[in-house]
Structure 1
Amino acid sequence: MSELASIRNDLLEAQVDSLGAQLMSLRRNGTEYLWQADERFWARRAPILFPIVGRLRNDHAISAAGEVRLKRHGLARLYEHRVVRQTESSVTYELASTEQTRAAYPYDFRLNMTYALEGDRLVQTFAVTNAGEADLPFTLGAHPAFNVPVPGTGEGFSDYELVFERPWTARVPTIDADGLHDFSRTHEVLRDDDRLPLTHELIERLLTLVFTEVPGNAVTLRGTRSGRGVELGFDGFDYLGVWTASADSPFVALEPWCGCATCYDESDVFEEKRGTVTLGPGGSYERSLFLRPF
């Protein structure tokens, strides 16, 4: 049975669910910034993506260890993660491979997920360890969704924008109905600008905006009238997904990824997917991102 862990410091409060090690709440001065899983739109809040991001073609791939059969975004979000360490301001979870996980993903691994409040930031750290005797291929990502508008601002969805560290030109791949990416057919969504106004129409038309080479690996979601929002920093993550569920969904997900869904120009060999990390036996891999509500 899942349990909530609460952490806090002088500025922030957060809650995390042991089911999926999913962030469930992020508050500053009593204001809830994290999407609260209204089932009319989307019933999750901030799932962990591992050992894939997005979809495999036909939910299937082949690998050196055998068949990989995983639904969208993988298996970490589906299982209970045990708490291995907790303080007043941080909590660390662990998910280890089992016979059940190996049936879908034939590898031995440990995934540790740490949430730590550091000043006005929540730092989220992924740590993957190869617990087996074969090379371990994987990708990973985060999927936090945020209330748009920030509660109490009186704004609407269209009052929000994404602000980047400098002006740049961004092209995003075409995504088909199965979630596969075509980087040979792209759409320009930003030209020599550091601000992208949010519209449901844009995200609905392109399904998900998948950015690469984001300046400074950082983006800020901000209300143009209130000045309120969330800053996201994601050093070491090569992709940023931006998504919402429908034409009237009052949230947006900002998703740092290491890797992405299967692409049109890829085979179904798991190790050959874009962004795949491969760890030798006993090897480890760590990436951190931060969320700063303001």
Structure 2
Amino acid sequence: MVTLKNDYLTVTINPLGAELTSVRDNASHLEYMWSADKAFWGRHAPFLFPIVGRLQDNQYQVNGQTYQMTQHGFARDRVFTVAEQGATAVTFQLRADEVSREKYPFDFDLTITYTLTDHELRVAAQITNENDQRMPFSFGAHPGFNLPFGGAPADFTDYQVTVAPKRVYQRVPLVGPYSDTQHAVPLDLTHPLALTHDLFAHDAQVLTLDDRETTVMVSTPNDDHGIALTVAAPYLGIWSPYPKQAPFVCLEPWWGLADDVQATGDLETKVAIQHLDPHASFNAGYQITYF
């Protein structure tokens, strides 16, 4: 495990998946991150690469060849190398190898950098295409947060999600595990969204952000604690398991989507796929404020 610490927060990150596992307030010992209780969901905050969501039949094609890949890709299950480390910052690295090429036939360099400043944790990802051809990919993050935070006198349904800018967003419905991009529906977020377990009866609430900088805050009137995630991404998922009444919620910046209900299986034309030119780099990031 890698630990970052300043006057306010202590952060723990596992090189397995470069996964954030704990963010604890130094004064109150309040724990913000989900515990990865396998009875509900056995992860804390995985990264999603080289796909987001599920592929139809868990497979896709590139250049006429079929490859198998399960939901959210393989990066979350690979051990990253610690490339650089200091007291309040660390960079993890994952590079293509024989194992990854069996699932994804591209050479890549993925780095994840965490930087802790006061009450804020910044997460920066860089993906470099090390091929002489264009590389299709998706990327996402999936941090889960305790509800209540550290045992506050509240439960899941006492929390709300506030989104800024306040506006009506387009929501991408999910049909089973697949995106139905042709039937997006409006979601009025000019007012806070009350969290209920039934909100996730049809899986995640997937907001279209159109790469606009957006802040999503989870808080309760019962106390002063919460988190705020700021990102400029194409999409953001809000998720908690259903019908399990799990005591956590995930806020998920996505640079990609699960396969569309009308997907052909061709990775090049996959819905919301990113493309990276030969030897070019893609940068994505977000920051989380803990209060």
TM-score w.r.t. structure 1 length?
0.93
Q: Indicate conservation of the 8 Å contact 1:65/1:107, yes or no.
A: no
Q: Does 1:24 align with 2:18?
A: no
Note if contact 2:123-2:285 (Cα within 8 Å) is conserved in structure 1. Answer: yes
Residue 271 of structure 1: SS of its match in structure 2? helix
What is the CA-CA distance between 1:192 and the residue it aligns to?
5.9
Quote the offset at 1:133 in angstroms.
2.2
Residue in 1 that maps onto 2:237: 241
Distance across 1 between alignment mates of 2:181 and 2:57: 19
What letter is aligned with 1:31?
A: L
Residue 209 in structure 1 maps to residue 200 in structure 2: no
Deviations 1:131-155 (A, max 9, x none): 2222211010000000011113210
What is the distance in 1 between the residues matched to 2:169 and 2:143?
22
Going from structure 1 to structure 2, the CA distance change for 1:135 and 1:166 (only over 3 Å counts) comes to: closer
Partner of residue 268 from structure 1, selected from 257, 265, 268: 265
The answer for unaligned runs of 5 or more in structure 2 is: none
Separation in structure 2 between the aligned mates of residue 129 and residue 170 of structure 1, nearest angstrom: 31
Q: CA shift at 1:270, angstroms?
A: 0.4
**1:77-135 CA-partner distances (Å, limit 9, x unpaired):** 11110101000001111111111110110110011011110221100111101122222
Q: Deviations over 1:143-172 (max 9, x none)?
A: 000001111321010110000114322342
CA contact (8 A) 2:175 2:261 kept: no
Is 1:200–2:197 an aligned residue pair?
yes
- Determine the structure 1 residue equivalent to 2:290: 293
Secondary structure (helix, strand or coil) at the match of 2:199 reads helix
Give, in whole Å, the separation in 2 of the partners of 1:14 and 1:228.
Answer: 17
User: Unaligned 5+ residue runs, structure 1?
Assistant: none
Measured in 2, the distance between the counterparts of 1:129 and 1:186 equals 32
The question of 1:68 aligning with 2:67 is answered yes
Per-residue deviation, residues 9-47 of structure 1 (Å, max 9, x unmatched): 122211110111111111123211000111111110000
Measured at CA, do residues 242 and 212 of structure 1 come closer, stay the same or move farther in structure 2, by a change above 3 Å? Answer: same
Give, as a single letter, the amino acid of the residue that structure 1 aligns with 2:249.
Answer: V
Q: 1:8-19 maps to which residues of 2 (within 5 A)? A: 8-19=5-16
Question: Which one-letter code corresponds to 2:82 in the other structure?
Answer: V
Q: In structure 2, how many angstroms separate the alpha carbons of the residues matched to 1:132 and 1:166?
A: 39
**SS across alignment from 1:249:** coil
Alignment coverage as a number of residue pairs: 287
Residue identity (%)? 33
Deviations 1:257-290 (A, max 9, x none): 0011011243211011233222222111111100
| Structure 2 match to 1:180 | 178
Equivalent pair of 1:110/1:131 in contact (CA under 8 Å): yes
Contact 2:165 2:215 survives alignment (8 Å): no
Q: Which segment drifts farther, 34-43 or 160-169?
A: 160-169
- Measure, in 1, the Cα distance between the counterparts of 2:214 and 2:179: 21
Aligned counterpart, 1:35: 34
1:5 alignment partner in structure 2:
2
Task: Please report the RMSD computed on the Cα atoms of aligned residues, expressed in angstroms.
Answer: 1.6
- Superposed displacement of residue 187, structure 1: 4.6
Partner of 1:91: 90
| Distance (whole Å) between structure 2 residues aligned to residue 216 and residue 224 of structure 1 | 25
Take 2:224 and 2:278, find their aligned partners in 1: how far apart are those partners? 48
Whether the 8 Å contact between 2:48 and 2:75 is mirrored in structure 1 is yes
2: CA distance between counterparts of 1:65 and 1:110?
Answer: 24
Q: Secondary structure at the match of 1:231?
A: strand
| In structure 1, C-alpha distance between the alignment counterparts of 2:45 and 2:75, rounded to whole Å | 12
Change (3 A) 1:147 1:192: closer
Secondary structure of the corresponding residue to residue 232 of structure 1:
strand
CA distance, structure 2, for counterparts of residue 248 and residue 163 of structure 1: 21
Q: CA deviation at 1:186?
A: 4.0
